[in-house]
Structure 1
């Protein structure tokens, strides 16, 4: 084991780290929000969507990649007065460690509570994101610890934006039989489609999701999660996309969010307790 090859770079003037495995797989992670904005498998192409109109700047959310949502998912969580999707995606993290082995490389970024976060949410916490790349695989692990002497609740997500060729042509397999809440229609059902298709605005929270397969023409992407009880599938559709200042009007066709999440039931951490959840993306090759 050795220290991973890390290239400190800038993206739109903001610090970022690029981690690369010996086989050439690489990921780029902003220190701003610990947000992964690029994943390129070995001998492959970009797998994540990043809006060409997004602005990467302190205090601003970045549209695309993998935003880290904590401790509040939208208006679901411990405190609806918190910023939408929480405290961490618009603040600077620090690189804690990195390592490289013969078949993969990884980097861990960390954020500890500070005076700014405690003014909004009066709790002590440590959150780490570990990003690992290897061949055709990307692993993202979110770790949360409560170092205080009192319990608190949180909701969270890895808000993964996947690049797709045309969202109306892709198929997502693995949701059949999973209960879901449709937040567009304000309805709850059980998914009865073996292959999910997307034609417009789509915003559903599923429970019991473990293993998904995205089919996009010849491309096949396996998406698994562990520790996360829920999954959010989202696309703004043409009308909502046109209202987003940080996304081209037609780019709803170029992306699909498949998010590992804890939304329906907040997670409770007692003093000195910890939790972790992992999302793994594997580009399948013949």
Structure 2
């Protein structure tokens, strides 16, 4: 993509600018009175969000993240679509779908002093993988203000229905994983991916002292991540999301994470995941939205 042309077409003085980032990917820098943010057009992935009155970023981004075509960037909020997790058809396609491994295009940027909106698009013409035959258009809308909001809209532009799973794979930056609490999942059923997918019930709040990989059913639309080390809580409010994931790899070796990174992040993900299939009819649309707000104390 031509960075100069992006700045001419979509840059906004002192608010929105484009530059060549890691791996040669085009990045969008956003700055307003409420917050700053960084979005990679590769993956349509927000990598940083920091309200103006915050010292620390809300999002975790690995210092060992890989910025190569065809590979996912470790951190921020990757977009999982049209499937979450392993390839459901066993065709050795990438985990979590193909939109996080391809470039998106910019369709609009607008701003006030306190809120900046970025709109991106992805169609079947963008993807390199050939096994997904259904025509579609995706729209990804970011609102950068004191609250971060992200909306993903799926439009079926073909003549046959198709089914998807989808999620925002959010990496939260935390002060100490041993003190983190996830509130709002009490009493929810979950599938424990570390115990052969057995279905279990969440008793009490979620705390993390070992590797965790769970898919929660019928979640509430309001979750809270309590991060006492950083003296903050993060409110996670979702719409049209029925499932969620809590994930931390603990000390499992992962090539694009430092050995101690597990202490500094937790993934709390919202979407339509696993058995929560969404069918999109011909000429139909589906959308889901998640917003994130930091509260002190």
Q: Provide TM-score, normalisation by structure 1.
A: 0.92
- TM superposition shift of 1:103: 3.3
Distance 1:116 1:105 in 2: 28
Residue in 2 aligned with 1:285?
296
Partner of residue 124, structure 2: 113
Q: Structure 1, residues 235-256: CA drift from partner, whole Å, max 9, x if none?
A: 0111x2x2x1111011011100
Aligned residues: 278
Tell me how far 1:116 sits from its aligned partner: 4.5
Matched, 1:87 2:98: yes
After the TM superposition, which parts of structure 1 deviate over 3 Å for at least 4 consecutive aligned residues? 115-118
Shift of 1:130: 1.0
**Closer/same/farther in 2, CA of residues 248 and 3 from structure 1, 3 Å limit:** closer
Match of 1:99 in 2: 110
Structure 2: how far apart are the matches of 1:18 and 1:174? 33
Cα deviation, residue 76, structure 1 = 6.4
Give 1:85 deviation, angstroms. 0.7
Equivalent residue number for residue 227 of structure 1: 240
CA distance in 2, matches of 1:80, 1:158: 22
SS, match of residue 29 in structure 2: strand
Partner of 2:48: 38
Indicate the residue corresponding to 2:16 in structure 1.
6
Aligned counterparts of 1:151 and 1:117: Cα–Cα separation in 2: 22
- CA contact 1:76–1:155 (8 Å) conserved in 2: no
Unmatched 5+ residue regions in structure 2? 1-9
SS in 1 for 2:263: helix
Q: Note the alpha carbon deviations across 1:79-132, whole angstroms, 9 max, x for none.
A: 332321101111011111111135311101110112745612111111111111
Q: Could you report, residue by residue, the CA deviation over 1:213-252 in whole angstroms, capped at 9, with x for unpaired residues?
A: 11111211111111111111100111x2x2x111101101
Matched, 1:262 2:286: no
State the SS of the aligned residue for 1:253.
helix
Is contact 2:87–2:97 with CA below 8 Å preserved after alignment? no
Contact 2:103–2:126, Cα closer than 8 Å, also in 1: no
- Partner Cα distance (2:57, 2:65) in 1: 17
CA contact (8 A) 2:87 2:95 kept: no
Secondary structure of the structure 2 residue equivalent to 1:252: helix
Q: 1:224 to 1:63 in 2, by over 3 A?
A: same
Change over 3 Å in CA distance of 1:9–1:43 after alignment to 2: farther
Whole-angstrom CA distance in 2 between matches of 1:206 and 1:8: 38
Match of 1:146 in 2: 156
TM-score (norm 2): 0.89
2:170 equivalent in structure 1: 160
Superposed displacement of residue 168, structure 1: 1.0
